[in-house]
Structure 1
Amino acid sequence: TMFPAKLALSTLKRIHHGACYRYGPPSDSRVWKRKPKNQSAIWSSIRLLETQQNGRRRFSLSAATIVNSAPVHVQPYLRLMRLDKPIGTWLLYLPCTWSIALAANPGCFPDLGMLTLFGTGALLMRGAGCTINDMWDKDFDKKVSRTASRPIASGEISRMQALVFLGGQLSLALGVLLCLNYYSIALGAASLSLVITYPLMKRFTYWPQFVLGLTFNWGALLGWSAIKGSCDWSVCLPLYFSGVMWTLVYDTIYAHQEDDIKVGVKSTALSGFVVAMMSGLVLAGVNAEQTLPYYAVLTGVAMHLTNQIYTLDINKPEDCWKKFVSNRNLGLLLFLGIVVGNLWKE
């Protein structure tokens, strides 16, 4: 027996997907279909009922629960910036942490204030990037089951509302950027063109992951310059290159759970990016005068990536998601290796 809210939620979801079934076994095999008149209103009702249901469950501090606990009129904006799915923020933030940790003085921990500042910036810029992506991809998202419920595609937020929200996010991100030195301000501003154009690359190239990698790993350059005042390219470029290769791995895994190919969005296949990534990390470590703990952790990173690739079942979306999300732990492991390796220098 369903609770009333759960029963209503189930009914609303059936209506949204276009099929309205009679209660009890039908007298024949016919299915009555109807298209909802107000799609955004239905999605709002679904979110409200889901929030009410979540309130009956045990207390949780997960990102999705926090978003669902927010006021109903705020939730679409939080979901637009993917606050309920923080893995993207982690993947944007982690290359920043690597660079900041590599730039720390020998025997010292990385700058905690700078790590916090970059974490805030990553949250805002990931939200801005998702907003831009959804504004560009509104028509595509409607055709893909996984993305049809996104706030802009479903009609919960208009493009104009999203544009205003985007302006707010970029303004706050600019405030974070202005806390850095002039070199880093210019370097950070240079990444905005990638943030804006990346969503379009999915329409014109078989390598959208490469453009995403260039965008998501900009922090590998910015973190070092924020600490040192400029980039040491002998360290920053190999680190940046490794981050791009890493993105090619995890985003290709992510793409296998999608049906984007059906609507003309292209994806690359997995190849030897792991070897390229590890080579770049070794070179960055040598040029940064890293020590034994760093290289020991690189062995673990290589094993983690190899396990992802050779145990991946591309026919199971849940396995693709599990492998994709595991890259947060991989990035944290590498950060730990850099920190310990730097402390070992003293």
Structure 2
Amino acid sequence: MAAAGSIQPTPAPRRGRLALYLDLIRWNRPAGWLLLLWPTLGALWFAAGGWPGWHLLAVFVIGTILMRSAGCCVNDVADRDFDRHVKRTAKRPVTSGEVSVPEALTVGAVLALAAFALVLTTNRLTVLMSFSALAVTLVYPFAKRFVSVPQAVLGIAFSFGIPMAFAAVRDSVPPVAWWLLAGNLFWVLAYDTEYAMVDRDDDLKIGMKTSAITFGRLDVAIVMASYAIFLAIWTVIGAAAGLGAALYLGIGIAAAQALWHWRLIHDRTREGCFRAFRLNHWLGFAVFAGIVAGYALR
């Protein structure tokens, strides 16, 4: 029994279900879905040769947000036993026990079904490709246990909106779509390695496989090379489409940001690496803006 007059600590208020679900899908951290959105929309503009129309724009914007949110649910369930040992993730709703595993999976399934309903308004090829996209999304959380560079798997998952955009516009997926996907995969490798560098010490203790661990002291060099490959491939494709100076300006702004990221990560501090990762969506936006402006001025 507490001594008379002692002050008992006030327990933290329990969050409502909506607040927990919004935390589960990282609603207050839009950088995650923006990283998926800009290359997907860039591909949509390439596929359509400019403005793709409101219908497809809405399908891919809303669908991207929904699928990223569903992916967060699956990822948190898969990683719940690992996340409690990592400083940055220990308080996630599933890891902390505030949201149960069945509950998180139900939320993820509802979001994925909503995204699928949007895909059903496109064409048969896009619908069929959505199953492959879902499969890669489900595989990624478990790749971190077996694949030395699981960021490559994430790169495919985060880039699958590119061929789907071509499928939705053209009812076919030409080689250029796969080149765009390959280029974007290197961007994902760059920014998710920065992300992995934040948790490297914790991941080493728990036996998680990441590119930051696999690359070792070459991590910064490989991140910068990956940025360069991404920008080079997308520049060549944009130049072939005749997008001209506007594209080059967007690519130049993106390249300047990549050089700034080198300054943030070269000392490998948690703060610098996380800041570089968190701001990567601006690099993607610069490339997308260059594509849009290029088509508008062509």
Q: Shorter-chain TM-score: what band?
A: 0.7 to 0.9
Matched, 1:145 2:87: yes
C-alpha separation in 1, matches of 2:260 and 2:14: 37
**Matched residue, 1:335:** 288
C-alpha separation in 1, matches of 2:250 and 2:150: 29
SS at match of 1:231: coil
SS at match of 2:209: coil
SS at match of 1:103: helix
The answer (yes or no) to whether the contact 1:198–1:211 under 8 Å persists in 2 is yes
Q: How does 1:52-91 map to 2 (within 5 A)?
A: 72-91=16-35
Tell which deviates more after alignment, 75-84 or 270-279: 270-279
Q: State the TM-score, normalizing by the size of structure 1.
A: 0.76
Q: Deviations over 1:108-165 (max 9, x none)?
A: 5343332222111111111111111111111111111211111111001111112222
C-alpha separation in 2, matches of 1:73 and 1:301: 39
Matched, 1:284 2:237: yes
Q: Aligned-pair distance for 1:213?
A: 0.6
User: Percent of counterpart pairs with the same letter?
Assistant: 31
SS at match of 1:84: coil
C-alpha separation in 2, matches of 1:310 and 1:319: 8
Q: Aligned-pair distance for 1:274?
A: 2.0
Q: Which residue of 47, 58, 68 corresponds with 1:116?
A: 58
**Matched residue, 1:175:** 117
**Matched residue, 2:3:** none
**Matched residue, 2:189:** 248
Inter-CA distance 142–86: structure 2 relative to 1 (3 Å threshold): same
The answer (yes or no) to whether the contact 2:71–2:137 under 8 Å persists in 1 is yes
SS at match of 2:69: helix
Kindly provide the amino acid, as one letter, of the partner of residue 224 in structure 1: F
SS at match of 2:227: helix
The answer (yes or no) to whether the contact 1:301–1:334 under 8 Å persists in 2 is yes
C-alpha separation in 1, matches of 2:247 and 2:156: 24
**Matched residue, 1:22:** none
**Matched residue, 2:215:** none
**Matched residue, 1:104:** 48
Inter-CA distance 254–314: structure 2 relative to 1 (3 Å threshold): farther
The list of structure 1 runs, each at least 4 consecutive aligned residues, that deviate by more than 6 angstroms after superposition, is none
CA RMSD, aligned part only? 2.0
Larger of the two Rg values belongs to structure: 1
C-alpha separation in 2, matches of 1:87 and 1:300: 18
**Matched residue, 2:227:** 274
SS at match of 2:90: coil
**Matched residue, 1:265:** 208
Q: Which residue of 170, 178, 203 corresponds with 1:237?
A: 178
SS at match of 1:256: helix
Inter-CA distance 324–46: structure 2 relative to 1 (3 Å threshold): farther
C-alpha separation in 2, matches of 1:198 and 1:93: 19
C-alpha separation in 2, matches of 1:88 and 1:47: 26
C-alpha separation in 2, matches of 1:181 and 1:289: 28
C-alpha separation in 2, matches of 1:322 and 1:307: 11
Matched, 1:129 2:71: yes
Question: Which structure has more RCO (C-alpha within 8 Å, separation ≥ 6)?
Answer: 2
Kindly provide the amino acid, as one letter, of the partner of residue 83 in structure 1: W
Matched, 1:224 2:166: yes
Q: Aligned-pair distance for 1:210?
A: 0.8
Inter-CA distance 295–113: structure 2 relative to 1 (3 Å threshold): same
Kindly provide the amino acid, as one letter, of the partner of residue 97 in structure 1: L
The answer (yes or no) to whether the contact 2:264–2:276 under 8 Å persists in 1 is no
Q: Aligned-pair distance for 1:306?
A: 2.1
Q: State the TM-score, normalizing by the size of structure 2.
A: 0.87
**Matched residue, 2:247:** 294
C-alpha separation in 1, matches of 2:238 and 2:80: 42
Inter-CA distance 217–74: structure 2 relative to 1 (3 Å threshold): same
Query: Which structure 2 residue ranges, 5 or more long, are not aligned?
Result: 1-6, 212-218
Q: Aligned-pair distance for 1:317?
A: 2.3
Q: Deviations over 1:294-339 (max 9, x none)?
A: 1232222222212212442554322222211221111111111001
Where is the helix percentage greater, Structure 1 or Structure 2? 2
Matched, 1:304 2:257: yes
Kindly provide the amino acid, as one letter, of the partner of residue 156 in structure 2: L
